[in-house]
Amino acid sequence: MSSRPPLDPAPAERLALEHVLSTADNIVDDPPTPFPEYARELVGRTEWRFWWD
């Protein structure tokens, strides 16, 4: 079971993968954000925003 919010890199990477798979290009393309950087930014965060075109 993962903590909420993710407190370690591995759960943050799993969450980041879920984000990329559900929102595709919005995460890493606008603005361009490398996946590892995006995952690191999720550690400790309690909310995030998505949009669909």
Classify residue 28 as exposed, middle or buried by CB count within 10 Å of its CB (0-12, 13-18, 19+): middle
pTM, full prediction:
0.75
In tens, the pLDDT along 1-53 reads 456 789 999 999 999 898 888 876 666 566 677 889 989 999 999 888 776 66
Alpha helix stretches (DSSP H) within 1-53 = 9-23, 25-28, 35-42
Q: Which of 24, 26, 1 is nearest to 11 (CA)?
A: 1
Which residues neighbour 44 within 8 Å (Cβ) at sequence distance 6 or greater? 5, 6, 7
